[in-house]
Structure formats: structure tokens, C-alpha cells
Chain A
Amino acid sequence: MDGLTLGAIYALIALGYTLVYGVLRLINFAHSEIFMIGVFASLFAVHALGIDVGDPAKTGFVLAASLIVVMVVAMLASGVTAVVMERVAYRPLRRRGAPRLAALITAVGISLFLQELFAIRYGREVLGFPRLMEKRQLFELWGANVRTDKVLVLVSALLLMLALDRFVARSRLGRGIRATAQDSETAALMGVNIDRVIMLTFLLGGLLAGAAGTLYGLFFEAARYNIGFLPGIKAFTAAVLGGIGNIRGALAGGLLLGLLENWGSAVLGGEWKDVFAFTVLVLVLMFRPTGLLGESLGRARA
């Protein structure tokens, strides 16, 4: 159950990598900080709602309403950050026809910039998250501990991913994204405004990363300036595992990585968890560089 919960969070973040890679062939390494901002925004939203550490956990309607408010705030914060990042950092590079390497280095630069910015502003210590909901065991399923918060994380992540999948498969803008991913020059000849599609993919990726931030905060109850690093790079692993550029691949890759990692830590011990996860990355790149489901956002058909 822990594996699936974490995996769902990885998958949400992985979608941001995959969407942007699909249309720009760029690994946006600063995406982990978009997620980090989602965690911080959730924390601030929780405080703004007047919930403090040690307060009794919320239930029923109050819980649902505050969760939704917090998540919307986090999604907006991350979404806007992603769009601004694209505008000020990547678009000027694209306009000048800069090589992809320049964009990649820029991504790493923005990532460090945002981390340090948050470190200076909010310190380098872990900030505690007030407990929003009671973490009660619902039942046990084949030895797995099914807990309320895990169910909530898993269900909301799946709903968001389903919404994204439908949007890309069905809507006009979604079709624009797929066309751009398959052949951006021809897409432009069909009347697709490529800049707008790129902005949209950053926005969508940011929204999902923000939601992942809220779920992460709910689950781990911690925020820190570098909190995005590990989940970010694991989400990247998940995206590669499923086939980068492939929406359903990101979903499958995230859940699979969460399960594998959990299984690895059960067998080898918890301290081996990260070693195990990144061994998976190296092995996938070695033996199946296009991932389990292969590349192509475009082929993620209805």
C-alpha cells in the first residue's frame, strides 16, 4: 500500500516531465522544484486556514473543504510557477534557436536557484505539517495496511491522472498537444499556436505537480527546501520506466516504481530503497531505453 501511494505521487510528478518532453524534447529538471513549491504552498494554505500543529484532525465536510482549498492553492502556485519559468527561461532560448544542451543546463540552473531561494527564505530545516486528517487503519488487505490517508492520496491521484488523460485524448487543445508532440512543424501548419501549446503543457504539468505536493504533504507531513529532489528524480525515473513522452507510461511507471521500491526496501532493508530505485533507472536505460510502453505522447490515443 505504501508502494502504491508513493507510486501515485511519483506518477503525478512524472506526468509533468513526460508532457514537456513530449512537445519540447526537453527534460525539465526544474520540475522537481515545481513540486517543492506545491508542498510549500500547501503548507502555507494549511496555515492560512488557521490549522496548526497539534490541532485536532478534521473530519467530514470541513476536512473535504480544507483539502480541496489547499490542493487548489498548491496547484495554482505550481502551475503559475511552471508557466513563468517557461516564459522567462525557456522561451527566449527557443526563440534564438539555442541548442538543447543550453535548455538542459538552464533547467538545472533554475532548479538550484529555486532551492536556494526557498532555503534562504524559509531556512534549511524541516518544517512540520499540521495533521489535516486522522490516519486511521481501515482494514488489512493481504497483509497491506490500508489507511485513510493512503486511500485518499491514491484515489485523488488516479482521478487527476484520468482527467488529464481524457483532456489530452478528447479536447481540442489536447489534440493540439498530441499533434505538436508528433510533428510540431506540421502542427503549426494546421493552425496550432505552438507557443500556446508549450505553455499549456507546462501549466498542466505544474498543476499536477502542485496536487502531488499537497498529497505528499498530507502523507509525509514535512516541507523542506530540497524536498523536491528525491521525488523529482524518482518521478523522472518513473517517466523513463514507462516510456518518456507517454502519458499512460508515466502512470504505469510511477505505480510500478513505487511498488518495486517498496518491495526492494522490504527485502534489502529500508536504507536500500533509493539505491534500488536508481538501479531500476540504470537498468531500464540499458536494456529498454524507450521504456516499457515506448515513447510518444502522440500515440496515447483515446
Chain B
Amino acid sequence: MLLELEDVRVHYGKVEALKGVSLQVDEGEIVTLVGGNGAGKTTTLKTISGLRPVTSGSVRFDDRPISGLAPYRIVRLGLCQSPEGRGVFPGMTVMENLEMGAYARSGRGRPALRPDLERVFGLFPRLAERRNQAGGTLSGGEQQMLAIGRALMARPRMVLLDEPSMGLATMLVTQIFDILAEINRQGTTLLLVEQNAAQALRLAHRAYVLETGRVVRSAAAADLLDDESVKSAYLGGDVEAGVGEGDGDAEGGGDGDPSASSVP
């Protein structure tokens, strides 16, 4: 077991956001966490990364308890996250963003990062073309590629991905999910949170369904894809949900930082 959550409870003030979540991810797997808005998907990922304190329960990574560790320590253990809204640093170039991804690997200079940069540019040739462009000026799809590539720069054993399909056109989503499959084949374990359940279930080996802070189902991804109740709750028209939002060109790194919206 690479990652294991056991009866994890998390509070925002008095509100209980996670009401005892248990889940496991094995080495080499792609596991997805699906569920509607406010189900606790993002909170689960933030809790694993150490951004939210747990009230009770345990989070273990590689058989080591990690709840209570500072986020930067968790990154050093090889557990990285590509956050919700991509979290691209708008004022930094693509190159600098990628170098930020390798921040935890301490003071090594650019030469040491070369193989990693080549790997990321191999997966996302678009990023190589845009390497000296500011992160805030990239399109939504490019920002998503950057966020994933940046997470890989730490040479993680496992990557948490928070809604990589958000705001992207279907074609782009398919492309990015293909690359995620490739990253997994290269040996990185993935935990994927998605509202776009159909796409996520096609990619993943196993899945958990989250509802208002609780895991209500867990099964092989393929089984859920065929399941009538899941279909009606999460797959009804969901495949098309990403369409029509364009590829999110206008969106900055957008996560509430007011400075992120005014791109130079």
C-alpha cells in the first residue's frame, strides 16, 4: 500500500468537511475520486498534502504516518500535487515554474534538472516552445500541462491531480488524460480527483465515489462506468460538461489571488 487514509476527519471551523474517509492506493495504480461539488474531493487531496490539519484518523504514505507533517516535508517524501485551478505562478516563466517543481530537490542547479526537463518537454512539446513565456499568459490547456509537468519535476512516486480537466475542451482533456496514462506507465502512481467522471473512470483502475464527506462506493473503475446508479448521478451529460467553456484562455492562475487576474 503506497497511500492509505483511515477514517480521516477534517473540519473547517465547526463544519465537518470529511466525515471519516478511508481509501487506499497501491503502487503503480491510477485511482480516481469522483463526486459532485462539495463532496470533499479537493479537501481530501489538500489533507493528504498537509495543507489541512486532520481532526482524527490517519494518513500513511509508504507505511509512514504523514498527517501533521508540514507540506514541504510531504513533498520531499515523493508525494506531489498538481492543485485545483492549476496553481501556475503567473509571474514566472514556464522554465521558472518547472524549476519550482524541483524546489524540494534542493540546491542543485539547472544541469541536474536537464533529464527531468527533457522528460517534461517530451511529454508536453508545447511547453518547450513556450519556455520563456510567463505562466499567466498561457492558455488554460497549456497551464494544465505546466501544472502536471511541474509536479513531475520533483521525481515523485505519486502525484495527486485535482481536476485536470477543469475548464478544458473535450479534445484537450482526452489529450491530457492520454499523457496521464503514459506518466503512469512510466511508473508514477496517480490519485485523480475529477468531476468529469466518465473520462476519469475510463483512465483509472479503481475508483471511489465521494458524497458529502463520505466514501459511498468503491469499485473497479470499469464497473462504475457501467453502473446504472453511478451513470445517472455522475455521468448524465457529464461527458459534455467541459465543452463550451472553451479552453479557458482568459483564466489566469486563478485561485483567489487578485493579482493573478491582471496579466502583464
* Interface residues, chain A, with chain B CB atoms under 8 Å away: 172, 175-176, 178-179, 182-183, 185-195, 245, 294-296, 298-301
* B89 contacts across to A, CB distance below 8 A: 178-179, 182-183, 186, 298
**Of B93, B105, B253, B264, which is within 8 A of A183 by CB?**
B253
- Which residues of chain B in 230-264 are interfacial with respect to chain A, using CB atoms and an 8 Å cutoff? 253, 255, 257-260, 262, 264
Q: Are A191 and B103 in contact (CB under 8 A)?
A: yes
CB-based A-B contact count at 8 angstroms: 97
Shortest beta-carbon distance, B79 to chain A, in Å?
10
Please measure, in the bound complex, the distance between the C-alpha atom of A41 and the C-alpha atom of B104, giving whole angstroms. 37
> Could you tell me the distance between the alpha carbons of A185 and B51 in the complex, rounded to whole angstroms?
7
Is B41 on the interface with A (CB-CB < 8 A)? no
Closest to A171 in B: B107
Q: B257–A189 contact, CB under 8 A?
A: no
Residues of chain A within 8 A (CB-CB) of B36 are none
B residues in contact with A193, CB < 8 Å: 70, 72
Residues of A within 8 A of B81 (CB): 189
Among B17-25, B94-102, B184-192, B212-220, the stretch that binds chain A is B94-102
* Cα separation A191 to B102 with both chains bound (whole Å): 8
Please, which residue of chain A has its CB at the minimum distance from the CB of B100?
Answer: A190
A-chain residues with CB within 8 Å of residue B70 when the two chains form the complex: 188, 193, 195
Q: Which of A186, A192, A195, A299 contacts B91 (CB 8 A)?
A: A299
CB <8 Å contact, A189 and B91: no
Chain A proximity mask over B51-66: 1 for CB below 8 Å, otherwise 0: 1000000000000000
Say whether, besides A183-B257, A188-B72, A299-B264, A176 and B103 are in contact (CB < 8 Å): yes
A296 and B259 form a contact (CB under 8 A):
yes
Q: How far is the CA of A194 from the CA of B70 in the complex (A)?
A: 9
CB neighbours (8 Å) of B91 from chain A are 178, 182, 296, 298-301
For B101, what are the chain A residues with a Cβ–Cβ distance below 8 Å? Answer: 190
CA distance A191 to B92 in the complex (A): 17
B residues sitting closer than 8 Å to A (CB atoms) are 49-51, 70-72, 75-76, 80-81, 83, 87, 89-93, 96, 99-101, 103-105, 107, 134, 150, 154, 253, 255, 257-260, 262, 264
Are B154 and A191 closer than 8 Å at their CB atoms? yes
In the complex, what residues of B have CB within 8 A of residue A175's CB? 92, 96, 99-100, 103
Whether B259 and A172, one on each chain, are in contact in the complex, defined by CB atoms closer than 8 angstroms, is no
- Using known A-B contacts A175-B96, A179-B100, determine if residue A191 contacts B107 with beta carbons closer than 8 Å: no
Contact B90 A298 (CB under 8 A): yes
Contact partners of A301 in chain B: CB under 8 A = 91-93, 134
Residues of A within 8 Å of B260, CB to CB, are 182-183
Q: Which residues from B are CB-within-8-Å of A176?
A: 103
Chain B residues within an 8 Å CB radius of A245: 259
Q: Which 3 A-B pairs have the closest CB atoms?
A: A191-B104, A186-B87, A191-B75
Cα of A191 to Cα of B51 in the assembled complex, Å? 12
In the complex, 27 of the A-B residue pairs with CB atoms within 8 angstroms, ordered by the A residue number, are A172-B103, A175-B99, A178-B92, A179-B89, A182-B91, A185-B83, A186-B83, A186-B253, A188-B51, A188-B71, A189-B51, A189-B71, A189-B75, A189-B87, A190-B100, A190-B101, A190-B104, A191-B71, A191-B76, A192-B103, A194-B72, A294-B262, A295-B258, A299-B90, A299-B259, A301-B93, A301-B134
Q: Which residues of chain B come closer than 8 Å to A187, judged between CB atoms?
A: 100
A298 to B260, CA, bound (A): 10
**Once the chains bind, are B87 and A183 in contact (CB under 8 Å)?**
yes
- How far is it, in angstroms, between the C-alpha of A183 and the C-alpha of B253 when the chains are bound? 9
Q: How far is the CB of B4 from chain A (nearest CB, A)?
A: 20
Contact B76 A182 (CB under 8 A): no
Instruction: Kindly list 7 other residue pairs between chains A and B, CB separation below 8 angstroms, not including A186-B253, A190-B104.
Output: A179-B89, A182-B257, A191-B72, A192-B72, A192-B100, A295-B258, A301-B93
